[in-house]
Homo-oligomer: A and B are copies of this chain.
């Protein structure tokens, strides 16, 4: 089992590599090679019997993807991409990395004609307001960002290339990943993680939106579970609709905070400072709230059942089981 991972230096990529290093198998087969690609050098794990190789560069550069797929991986995880804020701020970079890079990878696989399983991380950013109360699987994607547009175009390519048999693709639309480890960042969605992560470490966090805001979350651990599950499912059971909205936990910000109180006590909640920010709220209003995700659940994808579980996953995976205070 040879595995290629693009975007291997990113948060999800690193967690996927750690999981594969622990499992040592994928789809029931022993992992023998890991080819790790990113724009900056990803960290290669030292796993006995696994040939790990590091590749860096721009996927959209001529020949870059051909040399990657020449290794004929059995499974490709295509995680590479510039994030939403960056794709919005830098039009050319977003289209180059998220669209041209994706297409270059897909075309290299097509031309090498070995039809691997290919798992592509799309995003709920393919959806744009207004929405019904619960977004069904049949709801049309109408992105309101260039990032969402690029992901939607990648999804369309993935479905067509799979239909033609160039590869056996599964697109997974990730919900907001929460609790995101690391430092606070300037992403408009940052507060969803910040109001949990910072108080758990004894730090103050800002809440810029009303407690009534509804959003769907899954832990980084679930994101990795989605990827592993997507690598293993039967493509013929998926049919031609290859892009699946992942399950998640839909909660209000108020419910997030109640969960934090249950898990870490009132002292943690006191560290959340409400400081309304009209700019952030205006962005958040355009985001999807709650998904049906019926197809992905039927295909065996699963996420946490409650926001409490999401907080516990963070405490276990990032804080060695310990909460500040």
Chain A interface (Cβ < 8 Å from any Cβ of B): 91, 128, 132, 137-144, 146, 149, 152-153, 156-157, 159-160, 163-164, 240-241
B128 lies within 8 A of A240 (CB): yes
A142 / chain B contacts, CB cutoff of 8 Å: 159, 240-241
B143 lies within 8 A of A140 (CB): no
A160 lies within 8 A of B140 (CB): no
B146 lies within 8 A of A164 (CB): yes
B156 lies within 8 A of A152 (CB): yes
A144 / chain B contacts, CB cutoff of 8 Å: 163, 240
A91 / chain B contacts, CB cutoff of 8 Å: 164
Name, among A132, A141, A160, A164, the residue most crowded by chain B CB atoms within 10 Å (CB to CB): A160
A95 to chain B, nearest CB (A): 9
Cα-based distance from A143 to B158 in the complex (angstroms): 11
Q: What residue in chain B is nearest A137 (Cβ atoms)?
A: B140
| Given A137-B140, A144-B163, A149-B159, 13 additional A-B pairs, CB 8 A | A91-B164, A138-B139, A138-B140, A139-B140, A140-B141, A144-B240, A146-B160, A146-B164, A149-B156, A149-B157, A153-B153, A153-B157, A156-B156
